[in-house]
Structure formats: C-alpha cells, structure tokens
C-alpha cells in the first residue's frame, strides 16, 4: 500500500494532491485534544468526493482568497487548503486580505475581528455559540457551520439560521450505545481506520462513531460533544450532560472538565473566560443533581488552545487545580 504522510513533506498540500494522482493512502494525525494523537488512514477519494458539497457550503471557488490559520498537521486546516488548491483559490496569511476563512469556534472568538466585512466564514466545530454569531453578523461576515471529526470527515452542516443537518450523502442516527444519544453515521467520507494503536472510531456494520453524543430537535442536530466521564465520590458523571445544562446560561466561552482530587478521585471543574458568567453558571449548576455539580471554578483570560485552534482539555485538567473549590 502506497502511504503518504503529508506532515513529513515541505508542502503538505502538494503531497496530498500528488497522493491523489497515484491513488495513495493518506496517514493523518488526529488533534489529540482529549488524549494522545493517533494516525488515521484515509483515501484521497474520501476528500475529493466531498469537495462539491463543501464548495457549496464554504463558497470557496476559483479566485477566492482563503485564510485558514493553524498548522497543516490539523486535518481541518489541511482539508481546507487542499480544497482551495483544487478549486483554484489561494491561501493567504493576512485575514484582512481574505474573502473566505475557515476557523474553529475558539479562533472565531479570538481572531474573527481581523476579517474584513463581507468575508464568508466556515466554522468547524460541534458548537457555534449565539454570541459569536451575533458578533460576526454585526461585523458583516457571512457564516456557515459544520460538525465532523478527523475519522469521520463531514457529518452535518448548515448555517446559523438552519442549524446542523446531515451532510450530503451522510446518514445520521442517535443510538443508546455506547452512551445514550451517541451519534452514528453511515457515510462515504469516513476513514479506513488507524495506523498502529486503535482510537475512538467504532464500527457496527456500515455504521461508525467516534463516541460524540447529541440530540435531534425538529431535524436539527445538536452536538453535545464527547461524553468524557468523571468519577467523583463513587459517581460517574458524563461531562457532556453538565455542559448541556450550563451552556444556555453562558455569555462567554467556558469548558467543563475533570481535575484530580486526593480524596474523591476527581472533581468536576469549570474554566471560564467571562467573570460575569460565574454567578450565572453557578446558578444553573445548582439545578443539577449534587453528583453533577462542578466543585472547582476557575476564571482565565483565554482558554488554552492546541496548535489546531481547539480547546486543550489536557492543559485544562493539568492547570485547573488553581481554581476555587466550592
């Protein structure tokens, strides 16, 4: 099997395009935001086949100028750059020069203001906070949104008005295994598996999942994220459940995660960036069962991000001991 590792090439985009010409398999890294990064294997056809639908979503065509900050080791960044090259667009380094952009929600919050009015922005992530949508709209930006994973590629896409709906040629079902509300997909865009150690991808016939959970409301998919569990004082708590209860009360960004504790094993922690959210989130948390209430609250200027622009939950876990235990 011909195997191409774009990260080992001086020009990863050119390496992917060359791999497509000869039908080679790509070896790509996962983000490693919740655990060790792994190398996933996928055909270039699984990317090229999704290009027409992504073009319709992103608006990136010949002559577009795309800003996509982050390292090419990020599959989101690499895909967007390869699609731009295939479409005849160019990648620019200065957001002020961009007609189009692809960002994570965290980078939208941090750098979206650098884009010029009229730019079309694709946000790649499970959640698109209403506050960020309002800020972008006020700046004259047009937004699209998609949810996916390095292993799955695209799962659902839409606009802030329409919400997330299954991506072209993708079927989505919610099942009770391995957790209630687990998102399973059947899609031509999924990867072939992993190189070496296994990862989050699970298969059941033609269906696959990486363990994210969500819910459908009126045909719109709401993604709650990976149900990382915290075992605290003998109770196992899915962090996605806590996040879902707090999110409607938040004005700024925050993250729910675990932090080690010598007596209880772990505590549920919340790291937030808007000090005004503290009282709002604590009030929302008071409605949760005692086992699900966060005991560590920490305010920071910015949430730590990985190189790919995603929230670094490993860093949050390591640093959250500085918070106040309540």
- Within a domain: 203: no
In this predicted structure, the answer to whether residue 326 has a pLDDT above a threshold of 60 is no
Work out the end-to-end distance of the chain between its first and last CA atoms, rounded to an integer number of angstroms. 55
Number of domains in the chain: 2
Asked whether residue 16 falls in the same domain as residue 156, the answer is yes
Are 67 and 155 in the same domain? yes
Using a pLDDT cut of 90, give the percent of the chain over it: 61
Query: What is the span of the domain harbouring residue 131?
Result: 3-168+189-195
CB atoms within 10 A of CB 24: 17
pLDDT of residue 322: 52
pLDDT for the residue numbered 310: 79
Q: Any idea what DSSP says for residue 77?
A: H
245 in the same domain as 132: no
Query: Is 59 inside a domain boundary?
Result: yes
CA distance 310 to 4: 25
Q: Is residue 78 in a domain? A: yes
Asked whether the whole model's pTM tops 0.85, one would answer no
User: What is the DSSP annotation of 202-244?
Assistant: EEETTEEE-S-EEEEETTEEEEEE---EEEETTEEEEHHHHHH
* Partners of 171 in beta bridges: 186
Query: Looking at residues 116-143, what average pLDDT do you find?
Result: 89
Share the mean pLDDT of the chain: 89
The answer to whether residue 207 is domain-embedded is no
pLDDT for residue 320:
60
Minimum mean pLDDT among 109-113, 228-232, 243-247, 268-272: which range? 228-232
Domain co-membership, 35 together with 137: yes
Do 18 and 161 belong together in one domain? yes
Instruction: Specify the pLDDT at position 37.
Output: 60
Same domain, 36 and 152: yes
Domain ends where: 176, 195, 214? 195
Tell me which of 177, 195, 213 is where a domain ends: 195
**What pLDDT is stored for residue 300 in this prediction?**
93
**Same domain, yes or no: 8 and 92:** yes
Q: Does residue 122 sit in the same domain as residue 23?
A: yes
Residue 43 sits in the same domain as residue 150:
yes
Q: Which of 30-39, 77-86, 105-114, 177-186 has the highest mean predicted lDDT (pLDDT)?
A: 77-86
Does one domain contain both 147 and 235?
A: no
pLDDT in tens, 286-324: 999 888 999 999 999 999 888 777 788 778 887 765 555
Same domain, 137 and 257: no
**Nearest Cα residue to 213 out of 237, 241, 253:** 241
Residue 201 lies in a domain: no
Q: Which two tokens stand for residue 4?
A: 């191409």
CA distance 92 to 257: 35
**pLDDT: which is higher, 137 or 34:** 137
Do the domain assignments include residue 284? yes
Segment of 103-107, 147-151, 319-323 carrying the highest mean pLDDT: 147-151
Q: pLDDT tier at 104 (50, 70, 90 boundaries)?
A: confident
CATH number of the domain that residue 319 is part of: 3.30.300.30
In a domain, 182, yes or no: no
Q: Is 177 inside a domain boundary?
A: no
Residues 161 and 239 reside in one and the same domain = no
CATH of the domain at 49: 3.40.50.12780
């Amino acid at each position: 099997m011909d195997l191409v590792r774009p990260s080992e090439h001086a020009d990863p985009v050119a390496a992917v395009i060359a791999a497509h010409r000869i039908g080679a398999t790509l070896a790509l890294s996962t983000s490693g935001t919740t655990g060790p990064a792994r190398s996933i294997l996928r055909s270039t056809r699984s990317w090229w086949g999704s290009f027409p639908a992504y073009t319709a979503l992103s608006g990136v065509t010949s002559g577009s100028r795309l800003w996509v900050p982050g390292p090419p080791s990020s599959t989101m960044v690499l895909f967007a750059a390869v699609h731009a090259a295939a479409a005849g667009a160019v990648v620019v380094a200065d957001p002020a020069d961009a007609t189009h952009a692809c960002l994570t929600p965290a980078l939208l919050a941090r750098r979206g203001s650098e884009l010029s009015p009229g730019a079309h922005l694709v946000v790649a992530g499970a959640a698109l906070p209403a506050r960020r949508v309002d800020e972008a709209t006020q700046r004259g930006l047009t937004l699209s949104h998609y949810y996916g994973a390095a292993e799955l590629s695209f799962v659902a896409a839409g606009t802030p008005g329409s919400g997330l709906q299954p991506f072209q040629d993708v079927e989505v079902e919610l099942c009770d295994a391995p957790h209630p509300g687990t998102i399973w997909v059947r899609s031509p865009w999924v990867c072939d598996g992993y190189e070496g150690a296994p990862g989050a991808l699970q298969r059941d016939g033609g269906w696959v999942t990486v363990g994210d959970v969500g819910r459908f409301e009126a045909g719109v998919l709401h993604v709650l994220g990976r149900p990382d569990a915290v075992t605290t004082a003998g109770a196992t708590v899915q962090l996605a459940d806590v996040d879902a209860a707090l999110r409607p009360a938040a004005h700024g960004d925050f993250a729910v995660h675990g932090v080690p504790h010598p007596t209880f094993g772990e505590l549920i922690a919340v790291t937030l960036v808007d000090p005004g959210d503290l009282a709002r989130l604590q009030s929302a948390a008071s409605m949760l069962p005692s086992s699900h209430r966060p005991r560590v609250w920490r305010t920071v200027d910015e949430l730590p991000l990985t190189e790919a622009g995603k929230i670094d939950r490993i860093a949050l876990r390591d640093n959250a001991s500085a918070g106040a235990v309540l």
